[in-house]
Structure 1
Amino acid sequence: MWNWIVTRTADYGLPKQIELIDIVQILLIAFFVYHLIRWLQNTKAYTLMKGIFLIGVFVIIANVLKMQTILWLFGNIGGAAITAVVIIFQPELRRVVEQIGEKNPLSAISFASGQEENERFSDKTINELVRASFEMGEVKTGALIVIEKTITLEEYEKTGIPIDGVLTSQLLINIFEHNTPLHDGAVIVRNNRVTAATCYLPLSDNMDLNKNLGTRHRAGVGISEVTDSFTIIVSEETGNVSYASGGELHTAVTPSDLRDQLHKIQKLAKKPEEKKGWHIRGMRQKVEGEKK
């Protein structure tokens, strides 16, 4: 069987004997492809890459069925398409190169206990968010709170000031208090923590939005158009609390409405890749428990 595999792979220019250096190369390629896919899943380029994958499958099928006209067409536009992708997604490509440079190879191994919660944030965080939003609404303090879901908001965090504090209603109210250094811009929330404040968000150019809405509401809708985030907006003029999700704005919501939406987000369990690293200690405890 092995000889048959070697003979077949030799027809494609692959080595007839696998040496240690070949194994090292395979592992390195697998490592970079794995991290590239993980990065793509957290960017706007992921949808494009899924489309490119489907096109690649179509080209393979066309090659098997000897569809010469289709193959000629793809062969002539392929180079231009690659150039267009590089130009359009130049910022994303630059960021992935920067992340590779900043990456600590040892960070892939974590000695955590492996007992992380399987929810995005706790019930206490939901209560604090609702309390802060409507307390600020009562005194007409404007606020813009962006809650990260699947797509990372690191790009927007970098435009603000790092906070990295446990989310409480007092913290949010203090941040958005009038005439304080941090009240301008948006706050970004990840899990149970406020990660950054005074962040800049993209404005929505949706012409269907109410013309009376200000920059704060357009920013809340704008970030929900380019990511899957959930944004809470408190109006400085009316004190109404609204939320934006999926490019849609829901205005003048009640505390129960907001709480229900936050509970829905909470139940979206973390994806496996969000639990970074190999939890060696947790694995060891599990094995020891089985031995007992």
Structure 2
Amino acid sequence: MEYIRTLLTNLRVRDVIDIGIVAFAYYKLYMIIRETRAKQLLKGIMFIFIISALASTLKLFTISWIITNTLQVGFIALVIVFQPELRKALEYIGRTTLFSFNVFEGDEKRNERNIKEIMTAVHALANQRIGALIIFEQKTGLSDIIETGVAMDSHISNGLLINIFIPNTPLHDGAVIIKNYKIKAAGCFLPLAESQHLSKDIGTRHRAAIGVTERSDSIALIVSEETGYISYAHEGRLYRNIQSEELTELLTSIYKKDEKQTIFERWWHRDGKKQG
């Protein structure tokens, strides 16, 4: 108690700030890895450090020698094993800047036209039960995914979107990538979701939508060919069977920064819809 009292007496404002920053950094790190395999690996690393401390205290020299020599090459192994998580963390830091801006800010009429064109296309595809997957690039670049498809660099129009996803056409199975105000590519291949807790009735198209949003801050819009339901994925979570007004809010949140939190906050608190 005397030690704690002395510590609190000598505590300065800069120490509080220092502790607060470190605590916030650890919290953010935990939020990034909490639903990935890195969480289990982190538990294993902590266990090794505990064993190492006990071996050193109890003078178990053989165990200490093994652990010490293992940890010397452990850092390189960690970089290899945690590569996806490290990339995700660095991308998160890159997105969370004081001077960030919305890539979709621009002319009001152009925003409204794009929203109308996308809504028309999505509703037409849903009514005909034609599967579709549209990815909206945000701050994290998707150049590596764009390169897997056919480059287009076309203006957004409902006719073009509908034709891309018509069954038995060359590009209908892949994803469309929309960057800023243009369709950058179609027929793109996406990484599948890593989560093991997804519902068994979620198909490949929905898993791909979750997968790309696990690795970036993009927003994925999906039309189910089995049910005609419209869904979307964001931050590795799937929000299923949204209605027309919710689709309008989603597209508005993409193209109009001030209203971005509306639909995400509403769906976060809804029961029975969120998956993943």
Fold conserved between structures, TM > 0.5: yes
One-letter identity of the residue aligned with 2:139 = T
The corresponding residue for 1:100 is none
The corresponding residue for 2:14 is none
Q: Deviations over 1:97-148 (max 9, x none)?
A: xxxxxxxxxxxxxxxxxxx983497121111111111110000110000000
Is the 8 Å Cα contact of residues 104 and 256 (structure 2) preserved in structure 1? no
**Unaligned runs of at least 5 residues, structure 1:** 1-46, 49-75, 94-115, 270-292
Compared CA separation, residues 135 and 117, structure 1 to 2 (3 A): closer
Compared CA separation, residues 78 and 264, structure 1 to 2 (3 A): farther
Cα deviation for residue 268 of structure 1 reads 3.1
Cα deviation for residue 82 of structure 1 reads 6.0
**Unaligned runs of at least 5 residues, structure 2:** 1-31, 34-69, 88-102, 259-276
Q: Distance in 1 between matches of 2:172 and 2:243?
A: 24
Is the 8 Å Cα contact of residues 230 and 240 (structure 2) preserved in structure 1? yes
Cα deviation for residue 85 of structure 1 reads 3.6
The corresponding residue for 2:36 is none
The corresponding residue for 1:219 is 208
The corresponding residue for 2:238 is 249
One-letter identity of the residue aligned with 1:231 = A
3-state SS of 2:257 partner: coil
Is the 8 Å Cα contact of residues 104 and 180 (structure 2) preserved in structure 1? no
Cα deviation for residue 205 of structure 1 reads 3.1
Matched, 1:118 2:105: yes
The corresponding residue for 1:135 is 124
The corresponding residue for 2:180 is 191
Is the 8 Å Cα contact of residues 104 and 255 (structure 2) preserved in structure 1? no
Q: Distance in 2 between matches of 1:132 and 1:198?
A: 17
Q: Deviations over 1:61-92 (max 9, x none)?
A: xxxxxxxxxxxxxxx979863675478659x9
Q: Deviations over 1:167-197 (max 9, x none)?
A: 1111100000111111111110001110011
The corresponding residue for 1:201 is 190
Q: Which runs of 4+ in 1 moved over 6 A?
A: 76-79
Q: Distance in 2 between matches of 1:117 and 1:202?
A: 24
| 1:61-140 to 2 correspondences below 5 Å | 81=75, 84-85=78-79, 89=83, 118-119=105-106, 122-140=111-129
Q: Deviations over 1:217-262 (max 9, x none)?
A: 1111111111111001000111111111111111111121011012
Compared CA separation, residues 137 and 164, structure 1 to 2 (3 A): same
Compared CA separation, residues 211 and 150, structure 1 to 2 (3 A): same
Q: Deviations over 1:150-170 (max 9, x none)?
A: 101111111111111001111
RMSD, aligned CA: 3.2
User: TM-score w.r.t. structure 2 length?
Assistant: 0.56
Cα deviation for residue 208 of structure 1 reads 2.9
Q: Which has the higher contact order (CA 8 A, sep 6+)?
A: 1
Q: Distance in 2 between matches of 1:234 and 1:83?
A: 41
Q: Distance in 2 between matches of 1:145 and 1:164?
A: 15
Cα deviation for residue 206 of structure 1 reads 2.3
User: TM-score w.r.t. structure 1 length?
Assistant: 0.53
Is the 8 Å Cα contact of residues 119 and 268 (structure 1) preserved in structure 2? no
Compared CA separation, residues 266 and 77, structure 1 to 2 (3 A): farther
Q: Distance in 1 between matches of 2:80 and 2:195?
A: 27
Compared CA separation, residues 83 and 172, structure 1 to 2 (3 A): same
Percent identity over the alignment is: 38
Matched, 1:261 2:250: yes
